[in-house]
Amino acid sequence: MNNRQLKLYDEIAIDASKIDGKVNFIEIFCNDNPVEIEIGSGKGTFLIKQAAEFPDRNFLGIEWASKFYRYAVDRLGRWGVKNVKMIRTDAAAFIPENVADESISCFHIYFPDPWHKRKHNDRRFVCKKNLEILHSKLVASGIINIATDHKNYFEWMLKHISQCGELFEEIDYVLPAGAQDGEKAGTNFERKYLKEGRDVYTVAIRKR
């Protein structure tokens, strides 16, 4: 982060407080292109690269941390990205309440908070309950693409995915457009973790 004043671009930012019911993606993107959601967008690095590579897709970034949300909105606005919107909200509450069933082609989940302490494990986003919700929001053959640097959380993910075997089939992980040599997602968090020598674990699943 720097001290430059961040601009909240209206064409990028969605005010969560003004959403009533299900989001009309055709209305907010002004087209009916497929919609993908990134849960935990950080500074928007993935979104910028992915949106440029796939201009015929729409992307919604969900970020709870205000400083990262504002940075991402400012960055996307300055770059003139047309097919990305950002919203500051809690994904676990927003998705079941405000995303219509069978409306999303892919969920991207890169380096989610692992909630290290055992007593906080129930706060982990990737769990059976949320996987069932994501399944209902995906279109036919929709995908969830996941990367994490936390081995314990990865093992937790695989356990919960296995409990949803009737809903999903495991497929090859889809490498994002911004991933450079040796990277799995190409996010700021990943680049930091790789410098620290951490391993990165990936998994992708498709709606049956």
Answer yes or no: is 200 within a domain: yes
Domain range for 45: 27-207
Answer yes or no: is 157 within a domain: yes
Confidence band (pLDDT; 50, 70, 90) for 115?
confident
Query: What amino acid positions are annotated as catalytic residues?
Result: 113
Answer yes or no: is 5 within a domain: no
Answer yes or no: is 15 within a domain: no
Answer yes or no: is 7 within a domain: no
Count structural domains, the chain. 1
- Return left, alpha or beta for 133; rule: phi > 0 is left, psi -120 to 50 is alpha, else beta: alpha
CATH of the domain at 36: 3.40.50.150
State residue 121's pLDDT score: 86
pLDDT digits (tens, 9 = 90+) for 43-71: 999 999 999 999 999 999 999 999 999 99
Answer yes or no: is 8 within a domain: no
Higher pLDDT, 90 or 119: 90
3-state secondary structure the chain: CCCCCCCCCCCCEECHHHCCCCCCHHHHHCCCCCEEEEECCCCCHHHHHHHHHCCCCEEEEECCCHHHHHHHHHHHHHCCCCCEEEECCCHHHHHHHHCCCCCEEEEEEECCCCCCCHHHHHHCCCCHHHHHHHHHHEEEEEEEEEEECCHHHHHHHHHHHHCCCCCEEEECCCCCCCCCCCCCCCCHHHHHHHHCCCCCEEEEEEEC
Kindly report the CA angle at 33 between 30 and 38, in degrees rounded to 5?
Answer: 100
pLDDT digits (tens, 9 = 90+) for 87-99: 999 999 999 999 9
Answer yes or no: is 9 within a domain: no
Answer yes or no: is 21 within a domain: no
